[in-house]
Amino acid sequence: MKGNWFQYARGFVTVKLVSGDADAFLAEAVSKLELWDISYARDGKLVFRVSLADFFRMRPILRRARARTRIMERSGLPFQMARLSRRKTFAAGMLGFVFMLFLLSTLVWDVQVEGTERIPAEQIRQAARAEGIYPFQWSFRLQDPSQLAEKLALRLPGASWVGVVKTGTRITITVVESTKPEEKPLESPRDLIAKTDAVVTRIVAENGRPKVQRNDRVRKGDVLISGIVGEGDRTKMVVSKGEVRGLVWHEYRIVSPLTTKTKGFTGEAHNRSYLLIGNRALQISGYGHEPFAQSEVLSDLKRFRIGNWTLPLGKYIEEEKEVVFEERKLTEAEAKAAGLAQARKELLAASGKGAVIKAEKLLHEHTENGKVILNVLFEVEQSIAVERPIVQSVP
Amino acid sequence: MPRVVRKLRNWTARILDLPQDVVLDLPRVTMIGGIQLTVENHRGVLHFSPESLRLAMEKGELEVTGQDLTIRNIGAEEVLVEGTITGVLLKR
């Protein structure tokens, strides 16, 4: 049996035998033509279907049977095409739709940039635009992706590799950025000079010429490592670098009180909570407490939020803690030790990194008005070099 | 068909154990319930009406009776009839 679609493609008609000898017609037609769905209609007339080609070959048979036909229905592709050719606008619309679909699918709709951290995506997009990769560009106007990638890589100096992949209407540009060494600030020629009067304990010159030696006494402003190297006419200015450490003396006057005041919490506390509406607070709980004589208040504010959106509502909790101050009497020795410890800390902080206290000497000590007053000399080993730029003399 | 040929065919069918319809061009009627009937090896339509269909055979004829008969498909060898089939009659 032939498929229905085959008959549909060829086209067929439903025919009614209006008059004539049906049996005679059938006997001949069945052997010569291809008929199907042969039956009788309600009015007793023969109805059958025949393919379009056979319909025209049926005529001599009809004449011999003295039969007349009436076409009931035309079906199939040839008739549909004829109908379509009459509806020109519809046909044009159908064609137009297919054409538009094709046209739109040849456009580049989306350009995506991947793998960039330092190079801004906009810069890559601009470079791509210069090579013809931009949204609403025709696909057929683009070059081969590997060629495009090569040209893009030339346009992007910060990229070590560029890949261009086209999938349908989307172009993905993958960029691998080249790693760059850290940039150092520019330095001008300089000397290293002494920050204070000191005795040099260690000098290491990485660059430049050392002017002093270990155990030399230096005054403030003396050149330690010179940035001018060479002799006579053959001199050159360099950026001197190095480490110079020396013993430096600091005299400290320390005033240490004999009584100290310390703060402590008693553990008693009151909580008050508020409801925040806009910028107003409504106290909800924590009424009716006796206020403390001395207290400290800690507060905690919480705003309600939904996702990223902060609501104009919130909760505000105040914790009032009772505080007592305690006074403690110190002996002179304790006050002295506390004062010295404090002085050492301050000194080390002021002397810079790597400073070490080598010796300390108590010069003078006396007590007056409830305070211990000390004069102490500290001997500190610390870095004594500071930079001084070399200013070129104008001849 | 000449007598000799028919005898030879009969003999072949017996020896090789073949179905008779294949060898002797006999009609083969397949009926599905009372709604569909296939006749193979017919020799043309003699008469067709909603109540009966008479088909020519190699020998004699075959009549299908029923109501609202429709020839769904007809070829040189095969007929497919649909409708309410009430009887199949073979005439020699």
With 50 as the cut, is the pLDDT of residue A1 above it?
no
**Do the Cβ atoms of A23 and B74 come within 8 Å?**
no
In angstroms, the Cα distances linking A87 to A81, A84, A91 are 10, 5, 6
Q: Residue B1: its pLDDT value, please?
A: 64
Least CB–CB distance from A30: residue in B44, B68, B72: B44
pLDDT one-digit tens code per residue, A198-232: 999 999 999 889 999 999 999 999 999 998 888 88
Lowest mean pLDDT of A2-11, A118-127, A198-207, B79-88, name the range. A2-11
Cβ contact A40–B49 (<8 Å) = yes
pLDDT in tens, A350-392: 888 888 999 989 898 888 888 889 899 999 999 999 999 888 7
Q: What is the mean pLDDT of chain A?
A: 88
Do residue A27 and residue B71 have CB atoms under 8 angstroms apart? no
Q: Which residue of B has its CA nearest to A47?
A: B70
User: Is any Cβ of chain B less than 8 angstroms from the Cβ of A23?
Assistant: yes
The model's confidence at residue A394, banded by pLDDT at 50, 70 and 90, is low
pLDDT in tens, A236-273: 888 999 999 999 998 988 888 888 888 888 888 888 89
Average pLDDT over residues A55-72: 90
For CATH 3.10.20.310, the residue range(s) in chain A are 110-177
Are A57 and A13 a contacting pair, CB within 8 Å? no
Q: Which two tokens stand for residue A104?
A: 């739109």
| Distance separating alpha carbons of residues A357 and A360, to the nearest angstrom | 8
Residue A257's pLDDT is 85
B67 touches chain A (CB under 8 A): no
Q: What ipTM score was computed for the predicted complex, to two decimals?
A: 0.77
Closest-CA residue of A relative to B43 is A31
Query: What CATH number matches the domain at A4-81, 3.30.465.10, 3.60.110.10, 2.60.120.580, 3.30.70.2280?
Result: 3.30.70.2280
Q: Which domains does chain B have, with CATH numbers?
A: 26-91 (2.60.40.2000)
Query: Is residue A58 within 8 Å of residue A33, measured between CB atoms?
Result: yes
Report residue A395's pLDDT band, with 50, 70 and 90 as the boundaries: low
B59 vs A315: which has the higher pLDDT: A315
Residues of chain A with CATH 3.30.70.2280: 4-81
Residues of B in contact with A36 (CB under 8 A): 71-74
B44 touches chain A (CB under 8 A): yes
Q: What share of chain A is helix, strand, coil (3-state, %, to 5)?
A: 25, 50, 25
- The phi, psi pair for A94, rounded to 5°, reads -65, -45
d(CA A145, CA A4): 47
Out of A23, A27, A37, name the one closest to residue B72 (CB): A37
Minimal Cβ distance to A27: which of B46, B72, B73: B46
**Between helices A88-105 and A77-86, what is the axis angle to 10°?**
90
Q: Which CATH number fits domain A110-177: 3.40.630.30, 2.40.110.10, 3.30.2130.10, 3.10.20.310?
A: 3.10.20.310
Average pLDDT over residues B32-36: 91
